[in-house]
Amino acid sequence: MDMTMTTLPMADKFFIHSEMDVLRVRKKGEAMACSMGFNEIERAEIEIAIGEMASNIVKYARSAGELHLIPSDQRGLVCLKVISKNMPVIPAHQEDLEQYLQDGFSSSGSLGIGLSGIRRVMDEFDSTVEESGVIVITAIKYKRHLSEHRIRYSVMSFPKRGEHLSGDAFYIKSLPSSFFWGVVDALGHGPGANITALKALNIIENNYSKSLLWIINHCHEALRTERGAAICLGRIDFISSAVEYISIGNIETRIYSGGSLHHLHSVNGTVGALLPKVDSVVEPYIKGSCIVSFTDGISSNFDLERGQLAQSPQEMAYYIINTFRRDYDDTTVMVAK
C-alpha cells in the first residue's frame, strides 16, 4: 500500500524514566513503522534506533527525557522521524558532543556503539546542544521502496602499488531524497597518509547531513596536526534537482550530461594547512547525468565517449582505473549515474 495516498498515524511523545519506558517506546515505534508500511528490515532498524536513543536518556539524563515519534510525508517521501530530548550530565557544548558520537567512546563503561550505530541504521542523523544545555538527537528513516533507486554508483580505490595502506578515502550516502559523496586524498602515501585520510573520513561519515562548508571547516581543524589533504564533497538533491559541491585541492570532478562535459571547479589549497576562503557551489542537476570524481593517482588525460557513458558505473570505474591509473600514487575513482 502506498502510504502517500493514505492518512499517516498521529505523532506520539513519550517521557522516558526507566528501562520499562525503553521497552514501551520500542514496541510503539515498531508498531507505528509497521502501520506505515516499512518492511521487516526497516522496522528492525527503526526499533534499534529508538531503543538506543531511549536508553541514552535513561543512562545520561539528569531527569526524565522526551522521545518523539513523528510520521511524516517529508518532501514527498514517507518517513518516520525520531527525536530525543534530554538534560545531559555531559557534554555541555556541541564540540564536546562530537566525541560521544564516535565508535568506541563511552562514559559509562559500555562498548560505546549506541549513537554512532544509529547513524548507520537510519538514513539521516543530526545532533545539537541547545543553549539551555538540552541535547537534541534527530534520526530519520525513509520508506525506501516508495522511491526508485535514483543513483547507481561504483567506487574503486587502491593504494600505491607495492603498499598496503592508502592515503585516499571515500564516503557514499545514498538516500531516497539525496546522494552524498566525499573523496579524500591525503598528502603523500603510506601509513602517515592513511591516518590523515581516516581522520577526515571519520568527520565526513559522522556529519554528512551538515552543510558542506561545515564539514570542510571541521576537517581543516582536525587535520591541523596532520599532513593535510585534498577533499571533494558533493550532494545531489533530487527534490530541487540541484547538485552542491565544494572541492579543495587536486581532486577532479566531471559531470557528463546530454553530450556535454562540465568540470566542477576546485580551489587551490590544502585542508589542514592552507584553506582559502571558500564556499560551496550549487548548480542544476539533470537526471541521468554521470558524475566522475577521481584523485591525482589517475591521469586526467581521458574522456568518456557516448558508448562508455551507456555502461554501468562499475564498468566505467573499471575502465578508468585500469587504463589511466598511475603506479606511483594512491588511486580512487567514483562514478555515479
The CATH number that applies at residue 52 is 3.30.565.10
Which residues span the domain enclosing 182? 153-336
Which pLDDT value is given to residue 97? 52
Higher pLDDT, 147 or 81: 81
Long-range contacts for 112-119 (Cβ within 8 Å, ≥24 apart)?
114/52, 114/55, 114/56, 115/52, 115/56, 116/206, 117/48, 117/52, 118/48, 118/49, 118/52, 118/53, 119/205, 119/206
Chosen domain end from 146, 181, 203: 146
Looking at residues 56-68, what average pLDDT do you find? 80
- Candidates 209, 197, 185; CA nearest to 118 is 209
Q: Indicate if 206 and 326 belong to the same structural domain.
A: yes
Please check whether residue 183 is in contact with residue 251, taking contact to mean a CB–CB distance below 8 angstroms: yes
CA gyration radius, the chain: 21
* Strand ranges of the sheet holding 260-263, from the earlier edge strand across to the other edge: 153-158, 331-336, 290-294, 252-257, 260-263
Distance CA 44, CA 38 (A): 10
Report pTM.
Answer: 0.71
Q: Is residue 312 domain-shared with residue 166, that is, in the same domain?
A: yes
Mean pLDDT of the chain: 84
Same domain, 112 and 187: no
Contacts of 250 (CB under 8 A, 6+ apart): 185, 230, 266, 295, 296
Looking at residue 60, its pLDDT comes to 72
Q: What is the CATH number of the domain that holds 276?
A: 3.60.40.10
Residue 109 reports pLDDT greater than 70: no
Q: What is the pLDDT of residues 36-56, one digit of tens each?
A: 999 888 888 898 889 888 888
Q: Same domain for 211 and 73?
A: no
pLDDT digits (tens, 9 = 90+) for 187-206: 998 999 999 999 999 999 88
pLDDT of residue 181: 96
If asked whether residues 139 and 172 sit together in one domain, one would say no
Report how many domains make up the chain: 2
Please check whether residues 140 and 220 belong to one and the same domain: no
